[in-house]
Amino acid sequence: MITDPEDEAWAEIERMQSLNRKRQIEALVPKTQEDFYNELRNQVIQEVADWVHTMPAFGQDTLDSFHIRIMGMKR
């Protein structure tokens, strides 16, 4: 089925607006203390995992294993 590029563009705009509305609504819902804690914890774990992944003292396989293990700590 051939569609008009302009129609496709308008459909994409509508999808993006819908997604933006959803994100705005989610932002209005207050986070619980546990949600806030888990989000912060996951950010810290991500930073540590990324840092460990760049350590030059170990081989790449070891670094990959560390990275996977640390990422598994996320909630």
- Consecutive H or E run containing 10: helix 5-28
Q: Of residues 26 and 66, which shows the higher confidence score? A: 66
**Over residues 31-57, mean pLDDT:** 90
**Average pLDDT, integer, range 49-71:** 87
Give helix then strand counts, H and E, for the chain: 3, 0
Q: What is the mean pLDDT of residues 30-57?
A: 90
- Give pLDDT tens digits for 22-43: 888 877 888 889 989 999 999 9
Q: What is the pTM of this model?
A: 0.54
